[in-house]
């Protein structure tokens, strides 16, 4: 809606597009229809309406998470005029704009502001208030925050980190577990029998054995190996030195 001490006007409308290319700057393109205007002077009254295209740059100042202020300037080109005495087609004029934008959701916001156009025609300086409803189609990379994650820290480094830094550490829980190979020496339905046999073997031969429940049986296993060949070589060693039989199993 235009307003001026020497003007009378009806509501107009417009559409605009904004592209944020830096954190605090955006490009704006706007097409608007003025609505009916009347300009008064001492002798005459001029009336008419015009359409115009504006191109400019806005500076953004974020006040809080939802509210931001915008200060813009650019050029306005009159693309059509119903009264060339009031304002001529193809007339070019600078403009200044100030507005406040309030975010309702991540995509939806409303803007209230004022635009001042400085024409050389009989229209002269034209001030207008506007309100717009805005929809965000995308997000500029400058709006996305990245968090650096510390890597390759020693245990001492982690202990010395402040509490907030510890919370920033991310643990990857999707790593596929490695397949390990062991020599299985025996399997029992009751754990006490497996533990008893394991204790006898360890006391007699000083072996590193563990008992593991797997598929309903308590299995006596050697230390794990990263590949089958190493486990097979250890089985040969057990047979040759301790006369212990078994077979290879993977977990």
pLDDT tens track for 130-161: 899 988 876 544 444 444 444 455 555 545 55
Predicted local confidence at residue 27, as pLDDT: 94
For position 78, what pLDDT does the model report?
Answer: 94
Tens digits of residue pLDDT in 25-48: 999 999 989 888 787 766 778 888
d(Cα 15, Cα 29) in Å, to the nearest integer? 9
* pLDDT (0 to 100) of residue 7: 55
- All CATH 2.40.160.20 domain ranges of the chain, comma separated, are 2-140
Instruction: Give how far the C-alpha of residue 6 lies from the chain's centroid of Cα atoms, to the nearest Å.
Output: 49
- pLDDT at position 54 is 94
| pLDDT score at 179 | 83
Class of domain 2-140: mainly beta
Q: Which CATH architecture has domain 181-250?
A: 2-Layer Sandwich (3.30)
CATH 3.30.70.1070 in the chain, residue ranges: 181-250
If we measure between CA atoms, which residue out of 68, 63, 59 comes closest to residue 22? 59
Cα–Cα separations (whole angstroms), residue 165 to 101, 127, 154, 158, 161: 34, 52, 14, 9, 6
Tokens encoding 216: 């309903």
Q: Which residues of the chain fall below pLDDT 70?
A: 1-9, 41-42, 138-177
Tokens of residue 198, six digits: 């394991």
């Amino acid at each position: 809606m235009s307003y001026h001490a020497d003007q009378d006007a009806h509501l107009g409308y417009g559409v605009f597009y904004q592209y944020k290319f830096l954190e605090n700057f955006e490009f704006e393109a706007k097409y608007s229809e003025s609505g009916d205007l009347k300009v008064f002077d001492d002798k005459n009254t001029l009336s008419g309406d015009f359409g115009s295209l504006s191109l400019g740059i806005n500076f953004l100042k974020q006040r809080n998470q939802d509210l931001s202020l915008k200060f813009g300037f650019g050029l306005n080109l009159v693309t059509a005029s119903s009264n060339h005495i009031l304002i001529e087609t193809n007339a070019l004029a600078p403009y200044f704009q100030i507005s406040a934008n309030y975010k309702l959701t991540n995509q939806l916001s409303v803007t209230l502001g004022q635009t001042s156009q400085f024409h050389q025609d009989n229209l002269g300086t034209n001030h207008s208030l506007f309100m717009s409803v805005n929809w965000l189609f995308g997000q500029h990379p400058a709006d996305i925050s990245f968090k650096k994650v510390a890597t390759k820290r020693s245990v001492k480094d982690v202990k010395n980190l402040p509490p907030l830094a510890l919370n920033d550490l991310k643990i990857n829980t999707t790593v596929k577990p490695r397949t390990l190979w062991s020599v299985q020496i025996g399997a029992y339905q009751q754990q006490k029998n497996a533990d008893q046999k394991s204790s006898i073997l360890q006391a007699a031969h000083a072996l590193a054995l563990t008992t593991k429940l797997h598929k309903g049986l308590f299995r006596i296993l050697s230390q794990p190996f990263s590949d089958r060949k190493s486990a097979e070589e250890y089985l040969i060693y057990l047979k040759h030195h301790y006369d212990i039989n078994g077979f290879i199993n993977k977990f």
